[in-house]
Structure 1
Amino acid sequence: MNSENGIIQSINGPVITGDKMESFQAKEMVLVGEKKLIGEVISLEDNKGIIQVYEETEGLRPFDEILHTNKPLSLKLGPGLIGNMFDGIERPLNLLKEKYGTFIPEGVGLLSIDEEKLWETRIKVKDGDYVSEGEIIAEVPETDIITHKIMVPVGLFGRLKNVKEDGKYNINETIAVLVTEKGEEIPLKMYQEWTIKKPRPIKNRLKVDKILTTGQRVLDIFFPIAKGGTVAIPGGFGTGKTMTQHQLAKYSDADIIVYIGCGERGNEMTEVLEDFPKLIDPNTNKSLMERTVLIANTSNMPVAAREASIYTGITIAEYFRDMGYDVAIMADSTSRWAEALREISGRLEEMPAEEGYPAYLPSRIAQFYERAGYVKTLGNKEGSVTIIGAVSPPGGDFSEPVTENTKRYVNVFLGLDKELAYSRHYPAINWLTSYSEYVEELRENYEETVGEDVVFLRNKILKLLFEEDKLQEIVMLVGEDVLPDDQRLIIFIAKMVKIGFLQQNAFHNIDTYVPIKKQYEMLKTIDNYYEEGLKAVNKNVPISKIISSDIYNEIVNMKYNISNDDLSQIETINKKIKMYFEDLISNY
């Protein structure tokens, strides 16, 4: 046996202790045992080390060999990512199924993106050009809507020679040779490798001031998400976390979606696989899979690989961001990732913190969400990574450690409410506990693209909802009839907002995705009814006449009856409102 390699000393679940480890490095990726299982050195002390194995460890024995790879746990990044589905360490699940059947065998090697497929490649440089890190040297039309841009790897500068012409190449072919200032010749291939735990570098961060439109009214108007922002979606079982993330993945105007099924049930990923190829992206009129990368580490897959899956997803997202794309990453759910950290920490016999989670849980959560942002890339392009993480607090208890620590590091908090969910009010986002800290940053973007009074209108209606919540406490004690008419009007308008605006039907072909312009016009119509009703109250018109209007049904059904492309009918409803209240006031 090569003395430079280590040997297994003892085995404890997915964690093994290796002897003769003095030649290894911390964070190095290693191959363990006869089957060459993929692992990572997570601790070294003298000639002994602890290795985290990302596969099933059944069959490993003491004195099995541990082999070097001389690199950290890394991903191969290149054409072939879009439309594909990988496990937590970027092994292609479709290819594994073709080769090995339903179950993933141990030791299948470092498979990742297809190394044999030929890609139509357009070369963007020529011999003698001086290039630097992040600069685009070739383009590959990976799908009909995503052009994969081949970039100079980080840290490389120099002049090019032996540049190939346009043609079909696989990812291992050298398309150019870079000659550094020291005269070193480095072949440039169509892929690059990057360690998953290290954020990809950028030139500088930019202001987060562009809205990520989602087609969901409660988000786009009330709790907006910014491109490059951070979002948490906490909620108990059955409150609609996965459904909300599916809607965001389907309809947000990000260029690319990276969807991570982290520790959740396999049927949820199955739903993604079945639905996404059939669904048409309203922003491109193409299949959703043509802009989607799936990372699957479901509840029956190795726990250690679940911990890695989050970093696999964010690394792929940063890679596409560096090409100048806006990327949205969906992590479902970060609670299962935290549980993987807890289990590994327990096997390492580390001192536990609150509820058994490791003491470094807050810093790991912070490190993950800090990789979001709207940035200027090394190649002088603008790109963004938006992180949307679902959180699954046991029993819907938002005071548990993962939810509490996540709340510290995100700027949009979309608290899901079990009472709303059980009453079939979806999305079940509680408007009283949720918030977005991007409203003011996005004000200018709203004014340019939607309307000058969007933020004012949003704040006004949200204030009505808070007032209505306080009034409901009085109503429960003494009834609604004792309230003055202006307060009864607030309760009526709040009901109109909840049913006609906040509640949205994901299975209705018109209501599942609503352009933000229509959202704005719908909210203006509700506000118009409120203002006209307030005038009538001040003219002593009986509240029974104001809240029994037939126009109410037209307003709450705008979401179903008015086409997203033709908003002229909304104008007709506003005219009816004006005429109705003019007649009402004239009669009293």
Structure 2
Amino acid sequence: MTVDLKGLKLYDMVRVGEAMLIGEVVRLEQERAVVQVYEDTRGLGVHEPAKGLDTPLTARLGPGLLSGMFDGLQRPMERLFRQCGPFICSGSDLYPLELERPWRFFPLRRAGDEVVASDIIGYVEEGAFRHPLTAGASGAIARLEDGEFNLTQPVGAFADGREITAIREWPVRKPRPYRKKLSPDLPLVTGQRAVDFLFPLARGGAAVFPGGFGTGKTVLEQSVAKFSAVDLVVYVGCGERGNEMAELLDEFAALSDPWTGKPLMDRTIVVVNTSNMPVAAREASIYTAVTMAEYYRDMGYHVLLLADSISRWAEALREISSSLEEMPGEEGYPTYLASRLSGFFERAGVVETMNCGIGSLSMILSVSPPGGDFTEPVTQACLRTAGAFFMLDTALAHRRHFPAINWFQSYSLYERNIVRHFTAEISPRWEELLRRCREMLQREESLREVAEIVGIEGLQDADRLLMKVAERIRLEFLCQNAYTEDAFSTPEQTVAKIGEILEFHDRAAARLKEGVLLDEVLKS
């Protein structure tokens, strides 16, 4: 809609109408501005008032975000439910943090200390995590409290009278600063053998899971969220069905973290923008989520951001672009789709933080290409930037092989460094076992074509043995049931399992050379 307000800037927030709906400036015209409203505009009339807020969409950052569930505009869903019921009321604007909740502050600086904005002045305990608080500005400290406070109260003051608060605000579309970006060379263990062994992920890397309907994208992402060896998880349900998000929240509330034994929800932030919510807020949801993830990264934590699915974010971008009557690109997506996606991917990485710590933000995004067509624009734009590609194969899913990661089409650009790390830290046989496993799967594929012509009995015993062992690799090693204890596998368990299968092949091959028949070898 168009508002007659002067002095607005692009991406400034605007309150529209008597209902005070929240929107964002997406185009500037002479003495007018075009506003994309984030809420349902039914009932809005011409000449209703509009008010500029003189600030872009901003995330409020501070103690209390963990275990929280927010919408794409960072409104707290649980408190909105208590206020409005199951549907969000128009114009609702609850502060994301609980301002009256008490926190125990432990100061690390003294009166008279000179600090800069990024210096840590103290911390609060947020569940199992130490939540450092920074000065937020430069100056000499006049006082710091030592005791309980809530977020409406300052934790101290500078010598010139400025208050030091625990809340920080940051524009969601602007990456948070860091000293320098480092090379991602340590593994991100997910507990999924097909990922950790065949196509390993790096901590601070970015990966995509493209797959058609029914290939298990959501279950795989939720399994990674449950079992990944990270400090914190930010999960974005971007245009997902409401029942899927409800199941995820129920599971996360009941499960414990396999690495710490504590409740899984204690280390998780959920951003919910389901398919029945306003489409404009869906476009903002991934930026809100990545800003909260960067906030914890800047504390020196290792954070994992999962988005399900980035295709529905791109569809929201397409709807907004179409409403603005912008020149469409391929399949109607805006021409800047690839640059927006690459700018988002660039916010992942291992960084040296402003206070000289080391933190990381890893990204795993699912992609839902229509009809399973991987040549469509969103998948191709992701492939240009992501460091790992896990193709979810419809044929494997139809055979009930999950996770349905195609081991011929997938790849990881982080493999060299990560395999070197696993070989040094987990098992000196890791690289050799990986090479043999891939060779066996490739040889099985070529032998299967021969077997279709001459029949399995027409193959030599050594080739039939290889096909039996490759079948074990597929069914016992690469398959993992997400609803059993086998859903999670440590690197030690992974290398032991593949080692046992390949050792069986070696023993059986040795007996074949001694003249023993294959059927007898397989029985023993």
TM-score of the superposition, structure 2-length normalised?
0.97
- 100-109 or 482-491, which deviates more: 482-491
CA apart distance, 1:539? 3.7
Residue 185 of structure 1, CA deviation: 4.8
Letter aligned with residue 124 of structure 2: V
Is contact 2:105–2:145 with CA below 8 Å preserved after alignment? no
Q: How far 1:349 moved relative to its partner?
A: 0.7
1:129 paired residue number: 113
Alignment partner, residue 139 of structure 2: 158
Percent identity, please: 42
Q: Does the 8 Å contact 1:133/1:379 carry over to 2? A: no
Q: Are residues 1:519 and 2:481 paired?
A: no
Structure 2 Cα separation of the partners of residues 217 and 134 of structure 1: 39
Of the three residues 135, 142, 163, the one matched with 1:187 is: 163
Deviant stretches of 4+, over 4 Å: none
Letter of the 2:496 counterpart = E
Whole-angstrom distance in 1 between the partners of 2:277 and 2:435:
45
Q: CA deviation at 1:444?
A: 3.5
- Give the CA deviation at 1:459: 2.1
Secondary structure of 2:207's aligned partner: strand
CA contact (8 A) 2:80 2:94 kept: no
Q: CA deviation at 1:73?
A: 0.8
- Separation in 2 of the partners of 1:439 and 1:545? 39
Give the 3-state SS of the residue equivalent to 1:121 in structure 2.
Answer: strand
Say if 2:39 is the partner of 1:55.
Answer: yes
**What's the counterpart of residue 10 of structure 2?**
26
CA distance, structure 1, for counterparts of residue 449 and residue 134 of structure 2: 60
Quick one: which amino acid aligns to residue 506 of structure 2? E
Match of 2:129 in 1: 146
Map of 1:484 onto structure 2: 460
Q: Distance in 2 between matches of 1:40 and 1:494?
A: 55
CA distance 1:549–1:133, change in 2 (3 Å): farther
Evaluate the alpha carbon distance shift between residue 178 and residue 482 of structure 1 in structure 2; reply closer, same or farther with a 3 A threshold: farther
Q: Which residue of 1 aligns with 2:434?
A: 458
Q: Deviations over 1:269-290 (max 9, x none)?
A: 1011111111011111010000
Shift of 1:473: 1.4
Deviation at 1:541, TM superposition (A): 3.4
Letter in 1 for 2:243: N
Residue 280 (structure 1) aligns with: 256
Q: Distance in 2 between matches of 1:265 and 1:462?
A: 37
Q: Which amino acid aligns with 1:388?
A: I
- Provide the aligned C-alpha RMSD in A: 1.5
Matched with 1:4 is none
Whole-Å separation in 1 of the counterparts to 2:158 and 2:343 = 34
Cα distance in 2, alignment partners of residues 310 and 152 from structure 1: 27
The one of 527, 549, 558 aligned to 2:523: 549
Query: Kindly tell me: are residues 215 and 346 of structure 1, through their superposed partners in 2, closer, same or farther at Cα, counting changes over 3 Å?
Result: same
2:67 is the alignment partner of 1:93? no
SS in 2 for 1:174: coil
Question: Per the alignment, do residues 242 and 128 of structure 1 end up closer, same or farther by CA in structure 2, a change over 3 Å counting?
Answer: same
Q: How many angstroms apart in 2 are the aligned matches of 1:549 and 1:133?
A: 70
Return the alpha-carbon distance in structure 2 between the equivalents of residues 447 and 128 of structure 1.
51
After TM superposition, list the pairs within 5 Å mapping 1:207-356 onto structure 2.
207-356=183-332
Q: TM-score, normalised by structure 1?
A: 0.87
Distance in 2 separating the partners of 1:539 and 1:238:
47
Contact 1:412 1:435 in 2 (8 A): yes
Match of 2:508 among 533, 543, 549: 533
| Partner Cα distance (1:325, 1:436) in 2 | 24
The structural deviation recorded for 1:339 is 0.3
1:134, 1:322 within 8 Å by CA — same for their partners in 2?
A: no
Deviation at 1:50, TM superposition (A): 1.0
Structure 1 unaligned runs (5+)?
1-15, 551-588
Q: Would you say the 8 A contact 1:84–1:293 is kept in 2?
A: yes
C-alpha displacement of 1:110: 5.0
**C-alpha distance in structure 1 between counterparts of 2:368 and 2:28, whole Å:** 34
1:529 CA displacement = 1.6
Question: Contact 2:187 / 2:202 at 8 angstroms: preserved in 1?
Answer: yes
The residue matched to 1:162 in structure 2 has which SS? strand
Q: Which runs of 5+ in 2 are unaligned?
A: none
The structure with higher relative contact order (CA 8 Å, sep 6+) is 2
1:24 is displaced (CA, Å) by 1.1
Query: For residue 362 of structure 1, what is the aligned residue in structure 2?
Result: 338
DSSP 3-state at the match of 1:366: helix
